[in-house]
Amino acid sequence: MTEADVVILGGGPGGYAAAIRCAQLGRSVVLIDEAAVGGTCLHRGCIPTKALLHAAEVADSARTAAQFGITASFDGVDVTKLHGFKNTVVSRLHKGLTGLIAALGITVISGRGRLTGPTTVEVDGTTISGGVIILATGSAPKVPGMIQTSDRVLTSDQALELDRIPSSAIILGGGVIGVEFASLWTSLGAKVTIVEALPRLVPNEDTAISAYLERLFRRRKITAKTGALVTGVTSDDDAVHVTLESGDVLSADVLLVAVGRGPRTADLGLTEAGVQLDRGFVVTDDKLRTSVPTVYAIGDIVAGLQLAHRAFQQGLFVAEQIAGRDPEAVAELGIPRVTYCDPEIASVGLTEGAAREQYGDGVETVTYDLAGNGRSQILKASGAVKLVVDPAGTVVGVHMIGAGVSELIGEAQLLYNLGVKAAEAARFVHAHPTQNEALGEALMAVSGAPLHLHG
Ligand code: NAI
């Protein structure tokens, strides 16, 4: 029997962050994963998709070079090289991560683990015992019962490895994965139609952001069918056919199913060991302890935002508790959210709607259009920064859309998480010319002292 202070099931961003911090704090750690450490984020999620999205941006730059006075042309995509670029980024990061894990003396066990008691996990017939167990098994794409995946009907896992650029694609779900793939495939030459059940794209974002995105996607000739329900999916040798409740039938080369991700908690022995689940998610208290006192849960298996950086933070939070510290709990609304479609979306805190529900009519908002920002003009970035301020003048929401706005989320999340008053932040200097000035202008405007803002 192997023994360690901490046994971690799942080596994604949650599990490996917990492993690293536990080891740094002097605990012996066993990290178990049936696949490569790094999890969805490194191998099938954040990193490979963003690598492809960067390549898509290069394609768009080539296509639009003439408007900057540069002679270039977009002549096509070498899919083998495209995947080669993506895989090189992934394998370098994977090598760095495994090196770090080894240097810290963390024992990695390759195999599928199963909880067999409050302090024991079994992997391929071997029992591993720990003082504490951390569950971090992540999530997997959800596929509605009426849909069968195939070489034309893909989840994001298969879409990332597709050996061709589809000539056309239907994307089921206009959430984060849906709009990122819509953007990617459009840039690489596909004709894309998004089918979203709710009345707007990115329905978790502020309504103004959805409206901007829909307008800017229309400009890119991406079709969005919102408020649309699918009643059937069939495939033949030539295409996949998607029937909508309205009777319309859409046909395309491929269908991407992007209707959310479900927690990977089945067949792990959790219920048998007394770990309480709710609709597949592990139930935890505010310290991320499960119903079994020696078992913690972190990341996508805990209901809430399914984001790698939330998992990192939860991993650190749990590791520090195990080491006897008293870290501060993670505030869900203070976690920055970034979607890497073109235009990018970045937000933190409350939407205007949620702020009005919480604070009433005294809520103020300002929307600063990137048309007034010099750097955005140079980059030809359309979009806006929207600030939501509570009746006391405190920033309670920041919502941004436009090429490059992902890089503005650092300041935005500090404003929100530190509970800064807009008027206080407005006196700080934003370097010129940066897109960051748009945030500065919005802060000045909402404090009643706009500079570059009409009327
Ligand atoms: P999501 O929850 O963001 O979006 C799913 C969308 O599908 C929703 O808008 C929903 O209304 C719609 N939908 C559900 N059932 C449908 C149906 N039958 N027909 C039509 N529409 C339907 O989930 P998504 O995009 O699959 O992403 C999964 C998770 O991964 C999310 O939590 C997301 O935050 C995370 N992720 C984060 C990224 C980032 O931070 N940049 C990138 C990719 C994923």
The response to whether residue 147 sits with its C-beta less than 6 Å from ligand 1 reads no
Count Cβ atoms within 10 A of the Cβ of residue 314 and give its class: 0-12 exposed, 13-18 middle, 19 or more buried: buried
Instruction: Say if CB 94 and CB 42 are below 8 A apart.
Output: yes
What pLDDT shows up at residue 443? 97
The response to whether residue 171 sits with its C-beta less than 6 Å from ligand 1 reads no
Instruction: Say if CB 304 and CB 310 are below 8 A apart.
Output: yes
What pLDDT shows up at residue 252? 98
- In the block, tokens 């899919």 appear at 79
Type and span of the H or E element at 256: strand 254-257
What pLDDT shows up at residue 449? 80
Q: Which amino acid is at 318?
A: V
Cβ atoms within 10 Å of 380's Cβ, excluding its own: 11
The response to whether residue 195 sits with its C-beta less than 6 Å from ligand 1 reads yes
The response to whether residue 144 sits with its C-beta less than 6 Å from ligand 1 reads yes
Q: Ligand 1 centre and the CA of 202: distance in Å?
A: 8
Instruction: Say if CB 15 and CB 136 are below 8 A apart.
Output: yes
Measured CA distances, 48 to 25, 166, 377 (Å) = 31, 18, 29
User: How many residues make up the chain in this entry?
Assistant: 455
Distance from C-alpha of 132 to C-alpha of 293, rounded to nearest angstrom:
9
Active site residue 43: no
Residue ranges for the chain with pLDDT beneath 70: 455
Which of 259, 302, 401, when mutated, tests ligand 1's pocket best, judged by the most ligand atoms within 8 Å of its CB?
259
Cβ within 8 Å of residue 296, ≥6 positions away? 132, 133, 134, 135, 284, 287, 288, 289, 290, 318, 321, 322
Among the listed residues 135, 112, 115, 111, the one whose alpha carbon sits nearest the alpha carbon of residue 301? 135
Distance from C-alpha of 71 to C-alpha of 140, rounded to nearest angstrom:
44
Check the annotation: does 113 bind a ligand.
yes
What pLDDT shows up at residue 1? 76
Check the annotation: does 265 bind a ligand.
no
The response to whether residue 339 sits with its C-beta less than 6 Å from ligand 1 reads yes
pTM of the model: 0.97
- In the block, tokens 């008027």 appear at 423
Cα Dmax for the chain: 73
What pLDDT shows up at residue 455? 63
Q: Ligand 1 centre and the CA of 341: distance in Å?
A: 13
What pLDDT shows up at residue 329? 78
> What tokens were used for 28?
């012996």
Among the listed residues 344, 270, 307, 343, the one whose alpha carbon sits nearest the alpha carbon of residue 114? 270
CA quadruple 226, 171, 381, 42: dihedral sign: positive
Q: Give the DSSP letter of residue 406.
A: G
Check the annotation: does 176 bind a ligand.
yes
Q: Ligand 1 centre and the CA of 402: distance in Å?
A: 20
